[in-house]
Amino acid sequence: MGVHDSDWARPVRAQLVEAASRYQAFKNGPPLDQQVEIVPITYDDVFTDILGQWQGSVDGLATFARDQAMTIPTVLGWLNTAQSTEKDFFWTHVVDVLLYRFNSIATKQVRLKVMKAISAKLAGAMQGGQLLEASVLTHSLGTSVVHDSLAVLGSVPLDGSQAFMAGNFRFLNLFAVANVSRVLETDPQAYTSVVHPDTVQPATAYLTRYYNFRHTLDPLPAVRAFKPANWGDDYRPTEGLDHIREFNVHGCEHYLDAPSVHVPIINGLLGPVITRQEKESAIAAYAAAPGLPCADQVREFVAAVRRLIELVHDSADPEKLIIAACRFLALAKESRDACQA
């Protein structure tokens, strides 16, 4: 979500490299980004081109929704009464979610852009018969975009080529952080597509392993939460995250900072280079480390987020996800500002 320029992945890369450097395997060897090629994929321009037509106007959005047969009455009604900070986050961040879910033109353009970027990179890396292990790390809206893009790439020839269809190619890992692929699903659907690990229908599996990370105070993945049943041992969920190193617990770097998140990612990429003992020690030390300096504000934030999650977690409505995201981001900003005051 939000505006992402060509350098958007730099802080995410830096977070992963720094996290890896905490462990013995990386203290004397090359850093993570010299052992794994990290390739950012950007699709923000699809949303920017559309948003330029409205200039942050509710009336412009309403007209566009009517012309495009987008049914979003709840969001449009809420925008007329939303607090200014919530409305600001809608226009700067969450409107991307609305466009991807409700505008078929944006949906198709984003999926095609992602599929072509992935297939072009894989094809180039495989030239000369080179064996390739490829994984995907995705966050927030990206979890839905990646699921949908891989589901189509794995089941439909791209430009006449079947090279990257399931059965001909398989990704080693999918790392889904703050997964909203189920609440935003259209077609293909999250539980029934080829995007599943090889412990589910191995003949059609497009992944070897599927990792899913969810923070208990993150309301976005709480709406129609991604919780597949009977996916076997190669579906590896981490759902009890509760660290608060910043108020925007939804942020990708905030997730990646926790050993319970970055250790499975690093070991999934490189094998068990971080030992179980190291992981357990890191998790214990991380939990014991001092948190934010404003304990009263943290308690108020936690209580407010829990109330928000209680309001939306039983819903399957993507419009409610959009509104909850705006309210959460505004709450995180207000809490951060109060903490720094």
Residue with more model confidence, 72 or 129: 72
Mean pLDDT lowest among 34-43, 157-166, 210-219: 157-166
User: What's the mean pLDDT when you consider all of the chain?
Assistant: 92
Can you give the pLDDT at residue 126? 79
d(C-alpha 243, C-alpha 300), whole Å: 15
Q: What would the pLDDT profile of 258-317 be if each residue is shown by its tens digit? A: 999 999 999 999 999 999 999 999 999 999 998 899 999 999 999 999 999 999 988 899
CA angle 102, 220, 269 (to 5 degrees): 100
Find all residues with CB under 8 Å of 313, minimum gap 6, and list them.
Answer: 219, 222, 223, 225
Closest CA to 215 of 184, 250, 189, 266: 250
CA angle 318, 308, 11 (to 5 degrees): 75
Map the chain to HEC letters: CCCCCCCCCHHHHHHHHHHHCCCHHHHCCCCHHHHCCCCCCCCHHHHHHHHCCCCCCHHHHHHHHHHCCCCCHHHHHHHCCCCHHHHHHHHHHHHHHHHHHHCHHHHHHHHHHHHHHHHHHHHHHCCCCCCCCCEEEEECHHHHHHHHHHHHHCCCCECCECCCCECCECEEEEEEECCCCCCCCCCCCCCCCCCCCCCCCCCCCCEEEEEEEEECCCCCCCCCCCCCCCCCCCEEEEEEECCCCCCCCCCHHHHHHCHHHHHHHHHHHHCCCCCHHHHHHHHHHHHHCCCCCCHHHHHHHHHHHHHHHHHHCCCCCHHHHHHHHHHHHHHHHHHHHHHHC
Can you give the pLDDT at residue 6? 65
Find all residues with CB under 8 Å of 172, minimum gap 6, and list them.
Answer: 133, 134, 135, 207, 208, 209, 268, 269
Q: What would the pLDDT profile of 199-239 be if each residue is shown by its tens digit? A: 999 999 999 999 999 999 999 999 999 999 999 999 999 99
d(C-alpha 327, C-alpha 333), whole Å: 10
Can you give the pLDDT at residue 7? 74
Categorize the per-residue pLDDT at 4 as very low, low, confident or very high, splitting at 50, 70 and 90.
low
Residue with more model confidence, 104 or 2: 104
For residue 113, pLDDT beyond 70: yes
CB 119 within 8 A of CB 164: yes
d(C-alpha 125, C-alpha 209), whole Å: 21
Find all residues with CB under 8 Å of 261, minimum gap 6, and list them.
Answer: 177, 213, 238, 241, 255
| Residue 35 in tokens | 């052992």
Q: What would the pLDDT profile of 91-107 be if each residue is shown by its tens digit? A: 888 999 999 999 999 99
Can you give the pLDDT at residue 45? 87
The torsion angles phi and psi of 232, rounded to 5 degrees, stand at 80, -175
Report if pTM > 0.75: yes
Closest CA to 208 of 127, 142, 133: 133
